[in-house]
Amino acid sequence: MKNREIFQRDPVVSKLPNDGVATVAEAATSKEMETLRYELEHFVCEGQYKDGLIRILESYLSNADSTSQPAVWVSGFFGSGKSHLLKMLRHLWVNTKFESDGSTARELARLPVEVKDLLKELDTLGKRCGGLHAAGGTLPSGGGKSLRLAVLSIIFRSKGLPESLPQAQFCLWLQKNGIYGQVKKAVEDSGKDFWQELRHLYASPVIATALLEADPDFASDLKQVRATIRAQFPAVDDISTSEFIQIIRDVLSLNGQLPCTAIVLDEVQLFIGDSAARSYDVQEVAEALCKQLDSRILLIGAGQTALSGNLPLLQRLKDRFTIPVELSDTDVETVTRRVVLAKKADKRKAIEEVLTAYAGEIDRHLIGTRIAPRSEDRSIIVEDYPLLPVRRRFWEHVLRAVDVSGTRSQLRTQLRIVHDAVREIAEKPVGTVVPADFIFDQLQPDLLRTGFLLREIDETIRNLDDGTPEGLLAKRICALIFLIRKLPRESIVDIGVRATADMLADLLVSDLANDGPVLRGEIPRVLEKLVEEGKLIKLDEEYSLQTRESSEWDREFRNRQTRLNNDLTALSSRRSALLNAACMDILNNIKLCQGKCTERRKLEIHFGSEPPKTQGFKVPVWIRDGWGENESTVLADARAAGNDDPTIFVYIPKESAEDLKKAIIEYEAAKATIEFKGTPTTDEGRDARDAMSTRMKAAEAARDSIIRDVINAARVFQGGGQERFEFSIKEKVLAAAEASLDRLFPNFREADDDRWPIVLDRAKNGNEDAFQAVGWNDAPEKHPVCSAILSAIGSGKTGKEIRETFEKAPYGWPRDAIDAALITLFATGHLRAVYKGAQLERGQLDQAKIPATDFRVETVTIDARSRMKLRKLFQTAGLRYKAGEESSVAGQFLARLMDLADRAGGDPPLPERPSKAHLEAMRGLAGNEQLAAILEQFDTLAQQLQRWSALADLAAKRKPVWDRLQLLLKHAHGLPEGEELQKQANAVCSERRLLEEPDPVPDIYRAAVKALRSAVRQAYNNFEAVYNREKAALEGNENWQKLSPERQQQILAAEGIASVPQLSVEDDESLLRSLQEAPLSSWKTRTDALPQQFSNAAMAAAKLLEPKTQKVKLTSSILRTENDVKAWVAEIERELLERIKSGPIVIS
C-alpha cells in the first residue's frame, strides 16, 4: 500500500490554492474567490481560533451601545495563523456570498454553535444599524505613507473606490452630484479604462472631457477643468484626525447611519518597526476609530508579539487594544493534521501496525536530546504520519532559528512544507516517512534571498550531488549539518541536537524498514571523505561546513591551540582559576545555620599550599587539587590537625585531566580567535564567526561539565582525618561544616536559644527577671552568658568590643544573646553604661546604642531598701523620677545641694558659703559607687539639705533689701544723718550679719528713707518758691504781656520752665525712683538756673516784638570810690549809646 492511499485528500492531485499563506486583502478575481472558498472550507475553527472569534464577537456586541468600542490585538509567531484567522473573520463578518453557486462564507465554514449564535446576533445588530461591512488589508512594512492614508486606502478598496485619496474623493464627489455613471460611461465609450484614467486624474483629457460634458458649468474649458480638479482634490502626504474620521463617515454611512464595520489591519508590528512616531500614530488612529464613530467600528490589529511583552513601542498600545487574542503552534499543528495529514478511517490500523513494527527504530531517534521521543507522542504519531513527532519538533526549532524577524516574506508556512513533503513520498510504500533534510530544499530560496544561507555554502551543498547515490547522500548530509549548526546553543534554548554521525542518521532515515542500518554504516564513511576533501571540518564528534573564510578562521584557531598547548604555565593558571571559581560558586551558596537560634555561619574558603588562618568567625575550608598536591599530603594534614580543629580539608582529584586540558585550550583558542579576527564585514566572515562562536560555546559547555564532575568527585576530610561520604561536594562540605561548628564554637550551647528576642524586649522595659524567658529563674548575673560577660568587661569595654569577643570562637553567641545580657545586667545595676559621654538611665539602653556605649562593672550593689531610702531623700530635694533611675538622679541631687550651698552664703554682708568638698568628692564617683557614698552620709546630707535650703531662702529675701539700702545711702551722702547711717551699714557688712536674727537692716533702711524724703521735699520747696518769683516778674514784663498765651507757652517750654515738675516721694519705691531721676545735689543747680532761664524767656519775647533788640549784659569790677562809680557809669553810658544805634537794648 502506498502512502497516497491513506489520506483523505490525495496529496498527488490536491493543491493548496493559497500556497499555505493567507493574505488579508479584498478578494476580487475569480482565482482569489476560489482561494477564499478553499480557505473557508478548510477553516479549522477550534482551540484558540474558536476562542479568539468568540472573544472578538462578544466584545463588539457587548460594547455596541457604549461610548467606546475596544480594539482587538491578535498576536502569534510566524506561521501561527494570524492572517488566516483575520481573513476568515473578515468574510464571516459580512457572510461573503459566492456568485458561482450562491453559497455563503458561513455555510462553507464548519463553525461551532457558539460562533454561529454570535454571528446571528451580529446580523440582528446590523439590521438595526444600517448593515454589516468589513475592510481588511496589510499595512506597509517599515512605515511608508501616512497611517491615516493607509487605513483610508483599505476602506476605499472595500467600497470599490480607488485606493488613493484624491481619486477616491473625486469618485465620491461624482456620486454625490449624480454624474458618476455618466462620466464613467463617457470614458469607457471613448475606448479607455476608467480606473486606468483615474490614475492620471490631473492630466487625463478623457476624464476632463467627460466631466465637462456631464456638467458644463464645472469649468469654462478643459484646461480649467484639470486645474479645478487639482485644486479641489489635491494630493497630500497626510491629513488630520478630524478629516480622517469625517472621510470614513462619508464613505461608510448609509442613509445617515454607520454600519457595523470590522477594520482588519495586518502586520501592525512590522509597520511600527522601531519608530516611536509610527507607534504614536497607531495609538491616535486607534483611539479615533474606537471613540469617534458611534462604537460601530471594530478595529483589529495583528503582530508577532503580544502587547504584554517587553517591547516598549508595543506596550504603548495596551490602553488602545484591550482585547488580546494570542495564537500558538498548537493551532498550527491542528490545522496541518486536519487539512493535509487527515487519514482515511479504514487505513489507520495499517499505519498503527507499521509504526508498531518499527517502534525500535523510531524510539532511538535523537535519544538524549530535548526533542527525543516522548510518551505523549503515541497519541499523535498516527495523525502526524508520515511526519514523525521528533522531526516535527526539529522542523519547528529550525523554522524559528532561521526566521529571525518572523516575517511571512522570508519563509513559507509549515502547512505548505508539510503538504509538499507528503506529496514527495506519496508514491512510496507505507513505512516511508519524511526525512528531516526535506525542509532544506523548501527553505533554500528564501534563505538565499535573506542572506541566511551563503551562496558559497549553497553551491558547495548542491555541487555534491553528482548523480550518484553517494553524492546525493553527501548533499543531504551537508544540508542537514547546515540546519543543525544554525540551532541556538545557549543553555536555556539548546535542544541538544548535534551534527554527529548518529544524529544525522537518525534524521535522514526515511524507509523505517531498511534505511537505519544502511545509513549508520554509510554516513561515517561519507563524513570522513568530506573532511578529507575540505568540505567539512570535524569538531570532536561534530561536523561543520567549511568555507574559504572559515578555513582561515580554523587555521588561526589551530595556531592558537598549538601555542596554548605548549604554554604549561598559563594553562595551569587558567585551570586553577576555573577550579577555584567553580568551587566558590558551589560553596558560596551553602547556607549554614547553627543551633535552635539558627545562627548564620559562613565559610572561609582558602586555596593554596599554605594553611588558612582562622579568624574565629568563619569555618575554614582548605581546598587543594591533584595538579598541585598529593592526596596523601592532604590526608596527613587533616590527621595532624586533630579532632578539635574546625578546618575542613578538601582534595580535588586529578581526573579527566586530558579532557579538561583539551576543553580549556579549545575554549581559549576559539575566544582568542574571535577577538583577533574582530567583526567580519562579509557574509562568509560572519558565518565563520558564528561557527567559531558555536565551537567556543561547545568547548565552554564541555569544560564546565568536566569541572563540575571533577569537583563533585572531591574528597572531604574533617580535622583528625575523618572522611565525609555524602553525594556531592556541596553536601560533603555542608555536613563537615556543621560538624566543625561544634569545634569552632564549643561554648555556643550556653547561649543557644531561640527566645533571646523575648529577653531583649523585657530587658528594654527594665524587667530584672527578663531571663525567665529562656528558662533561667536564678539571678541573671549567674547565667553563664551574663557571668562570662561580666568577667570579660573587667575594668571597662565598649559594646563593640564585647560583641566581637563573644561572637567569635570559642563562643559564637548570637548577637541577641549578648545584647540581652548587657541590657539585663544594666537594668539590674550590675553594669554602668556611658553613651557618648552621658550616663544612661534605666530603660535608655537599646541595641542601637550598644556599640558606642562604654560598660563598667558596678563594684557596689544597692538593695531595694536602700533605693527606697534614697528615693525619700531625693524627693525631699524636689526631684521626681521613675524607679531604677536613682543613678542619674543622684547627680542631680548633688548638683542641687551644691547650688543650695552657693546660695546659703556669699560675699559680705552674707556669711561665708558652706564647704562643698564632700559633695565634690561624691560627684567624682558614678553609678552605684555614688549612690553608696550618698547613703554613707545620708544624715549629714539630709541636715544640710534642710539648713542650706532655709539659708538660701532667707538670703534670697534679705539681699534685695540690702541692695536698695546701698542705693539710699549713696544718695544720703552729705546729709547730717548720712554719716551715722553709713557707719551702721558698714558694721553689718564687715561682720557678715545680714542673715542674723533679728534682721539689722530694717532700722537703718527706715532712717535713711526718712532723712532722704525730708531733704528732697525741702529742696523741692526752694525750687518752687524761686520759680514762682521769677515767673511773676516775667509776667510783669511789657513785651511778655504783648505775646499770646500760646507763644508764651512755646518760649517757656523751649527754656524748660513750662511748669514746676511733679514730686512723688510717698513710698520707698517712688522716693528711690525720684532720687535716681534727680539726685539731691541737682535740685540746687536747677534752682540757681531759674533766673537766667526766665531772663532768656524775656529776651525771646523782646526779639519777637523788636527783631533788632540786643541783649546787653552789664559787668563791672569792684567799685570802691565815688569816682569809680562815675567812671563805670560813664563807660556803660558810652557803650549803650553806641549799641542803641543798632536797635533796642534789653539789659540783663
For residue range 602-634, what is the model confidence (pLDDT) as tens digits? 889 999 888 988 778 899 999 999 998 899 999
Three-class SS of 715-758: EEECCCCCEECCCCHHHHHHHHHHHHHHHHCCCHHHHCCCCHHH
440: which residues sit within 8 A by CB, 6+ positions away?
479, 480, 482, 483
H or E stretch including 620? strand 619-625
For residue range 8-57, what is the model confidence (pLDDT) as tens digits? 888 887 766 544 444 455 555 777 788 788 888 878 788 788 888 999 99
- Please answer whether residues 700 and 721 qualify as being in contact, where contact means their C-beta atoms are separated by less than 8 angstroms: no
The closest alpha carbon to 707, from 657, 668, 666, 669, belongs to 657
Write down the pLDDT at residue 308: 56
Residue type, 438: F
Residue type, 575: R
Write down the pLDDT at residue 408: 37
Write down the pLDDT at residue 523: 94
Write down the pLDDT at residue 735: 92
Write down the pLDDT at residue 79: 56
Cα–Cα distances in angstroms (integers) from residue 702 to residues 165, 495, 558, 566, 1101, in the given order = 63, 16, 18, 21, 128
- Please answer whether residues 896 and 879 qualify as being in contact, where contact means their C-beta atoms are separated by less than 8 angstroms: yes
Write down the pLDDT at residue 732: 92
- Please answer whether residues 500 and 523 qualify as being in contact, where contact means their C-beta atoms are separated by less than 8 angstroms: no
Write down the pLDDT at residue 146: 86
DSSP state of 104: B
Residue type, 761: D
Query: Which stretches of the chain drop beneath a pLDDT of 50?
Result: 18-23, 142-143, 405-412
17-144+240-342: CATH, from 3.30.460, 1.10.3470, 3.40.1350, 3.40.50: 3.40.50
**Which stretches of 720-857 are DSSP H helices?**
729-744, 756-764, 784-793, 799-807, 815-827
Ranges of each domain in the chain: 17-144+240-342, 165-234, 345-546, 565-741, 745-858, 865-956, 1014-1105, 1110-1147
Q: Which cell numbers hold the place of 151?
A: 487605513
407: which residues sit within 8 A by CB, 6+ positions away?
78, 141, 270
- Please answer whether residues 139 and 268 qualify as being in contact, where contact means their C-beta atoms are separated by less than 8 angstroms: yes
The closest alpha carbon to 51, from 110, 93, 109, 114, belongs to 114
Tell me the C-alpha distance between 814 and 731, whole Å: 25
Tell me the C-alpha distance between 920 and 937, whole Å: 13
- Please answer whether residues 1023 and 979 qualify as being in contact, where contact means their C-beta atoms are separated by less than 8 angstroms: no
Three-class SS of 502-531: HHHHHHHCCECCCHHHHHHHHHHHHHHHHH
* φ/ψ of residue 676, rounded to 5: -70, -40
The closest alpha carbon to 852, from 834, 828, 840, belongs to 834
Tell me the C-alpha distance between 295 and 67, whole Å: 6
Tell me the C-alpha distance between 206 and 183, whole Å: 10
Cα–Cα distances in angstroms (integers) from residue 607 to residues 392, 494, 604, in the given order = 50, 34, 10
- Please answer whether residues 811 and 748 qualify as being in contact, where contact means their C-beta atoms are separated by less than 8 angstroms: yes
**Which stretches of 305-413 are DSSP H helices?**
312-315, 329-339, 348-357, 359-363, 381-384, 389-402
